């Protein structure tokens, strides 16, 4: 499969829900955008490097870079290679001399490291086709349009790098019931309660 190059468009966050961030990646040769839910720590690590800020002490991703360079390991590229049940999977392609090694990683960590090594970020067509958003030509800024499209105030925080979920009001009863089962399996009882209430409200109506 041919790899598609992604650029970092930016970070969006919700004023109403602390900890909900969307890392927005865009295909280099097209208009599709790939929003990925990440944690606050990873969002901070990405933002600091994007703004070329220098923390007083090395962050975890800076430590990784310093460690790798000390042993002459280079990160050649980052590949977002799969999307399974709403979770993105990524890997670092590393090189030391003639040896090449692939290391599995969360997408947010991979992007933070890619920024520090100034290496390209790739994905595949099936991922963009499944989870990408095509922006309309409007007068609003790109970041504002993405934030409106994904409605960040409805996103539940997660330790995984996940595809943006629709809000409960936008889902069918079947989708809500499937999401309820998943929330229970993940022991996310706060989200399960909200989904259960929405299902009951729909059935009573």
Reference 119, options 60, 67, 79, 165; nearest CA is 79
Question: Cα 163–165–166 angle (5° rounding)?
Answer: 150
Out of 134, 155, 186, a domain closes at 134
The answer to whether residue 169 scores a pLDDT higher than 80 is: no
What is the residue range of 101's domain? Answer: 3-134
Residue 86 sits in a domain of what CATH number?
Answer: 3.10.690.10
Would residue 25 count as lying in a domain? yes
**pLDDT tens column, 54-81:** 888 888 999 999 999 999 999 999 999 9
Q: Is residue 140 part of a domain?
A: no
Domain annotation covers residue 156: no
Per-residue pLDDT at 35 exceeds 80: yes
Task: Let me know: does 92 contact 78? Beta carbons within 8 Å.
Answer: yes
Question: Is residue 114 located within the same domain as residue 184?
Answer: no
Q: Is residue 161 part of a domain?
A: no
Q: Verify that 20 and 97 share a domain, yes or no.
A: yes
Domain assignment present for 193: yes
The answer to the question of residue 91 being in a domain is yes
Q: Could you tell me where the beta strands, DSSP code E, fall in 14-155? A: 21-27, 32-38, 74-84, 87-96, 99-105, 121-124, 133-134
- Do 110 and 90 contact (CB within 8 A), yes or no? yes
Residues 130 and 170 both lie in one domain: no
pLDDT value, residue 121: 98
- In a domain? residue 152: no
Render pLDDT for 78-94 as a digit per residue (tens, 0 to 9).
999 999 988 999 999 99
Both 121 and 35 in a single domain? Answer: yes
Tally of domains within the chain: 2
> Are residues 92 and 185 located together in one domain of the fold?
no
Kindly state whether residues 57 and 9 are assigned to the same domain. yes
Domain boundary among 110, 134, 158: 134
Domain C-terminal end among 82, 112, 134: 134
Place of tokens 């996310």: 188
Residue 155 has pLDDT above 60, yes or no: no
Q: In sequence order, what are the residues at sequence separation of 6 or more whose Cβ sits closer than 8 angstroms to the Cβ of residue 83? A: 89, 126, 127, 130, 131, 163
Same domain, 7 and 73: yes
């Amino acid at each position: 499969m041919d790899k598609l190059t992604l650029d970092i468009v930016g970070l969006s966050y919700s004023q109403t829900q602390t900890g909900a961030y969307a890392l927005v990646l865009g295909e280099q040769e097209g208009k599709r955008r790939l929003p990925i839910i990440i944690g606050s720590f990873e969002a901070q690590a990405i933002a600091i490097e994007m703004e070329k800020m220098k923390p007083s002490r090395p962050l975890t991703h800076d430590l990784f870079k310093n460690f790798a360079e000390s042993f002459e390991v280079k990160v050649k590229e980052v590949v977002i290679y799969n999307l399974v049940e709403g979770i993105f999977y990524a890997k670092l392609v590393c090189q030391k001399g003639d040896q090449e090694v692939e290391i599995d990683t969360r997408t947010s960590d991979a992007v933070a490291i890619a920024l520090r090594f100034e290496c390209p970020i790739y994905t595949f067509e099936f991922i963009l086709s499944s989870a990408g958003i095509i922006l309309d030509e409007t007068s609003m800024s790109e970041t504002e349009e993405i934030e409106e499209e994904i409605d960040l105030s409805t996103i539940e925080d997660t330790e995984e790098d996940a595809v943006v979920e629709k809000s409960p009001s936008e889902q069918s009863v079947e989708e809500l019931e499937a999401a309820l089962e998943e929330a229970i399996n993940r022991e996310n009882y706060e989200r399960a309660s909200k989904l259960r209430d929405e299902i009951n409200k729909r059935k009573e109506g």
